[in-house]
Amino acid sequence: MAALSAKMIGYILYAIGIIGGVEGAAKRGTEGIAISVVALAVIIIASYLLDKK
């Protein structure tokens, strides 16, 4: 079984971030805000991994 590359991990994290952002937007109050902030951080990390050469 091949090891996951940084690009593959980036795509996986990007998908998780998008799903988390949608979930955070669906909830109201501080819980939704917290989920959205974490999702944004995950998307930023994923973008870094995808841009890394």
1 is a domain residue:
no
18 is a domain residue:
yes
Q: What stretch of H or E contains 14?
A: helix 6-26
pTM for the full model? 0.76
38 is a domain residue:
yes
Where in the sequence is the domain holding 26, given as residue range(s)? Answer: 6-51
Residues ≥6 apart with Cβ < 8 Å to 7 = 49, 50, 52
> What's at 37, amino acid-wise?
V
Tens of pLDDT, residues 1-53: 467 888 888 888 889 888 888 888 886 778 888 888 898 999 888 888 888 76
34 is a domain residue:
yes
Predicted confidence at residue 2, as pLDDT, reads 61
41 is a domain residue:
yes
CA 44-50-52 angle, 5° bins:
100
Q: What is the dihedral of CA 33, 36, 38, 44, to 10 degrees?
A: -140
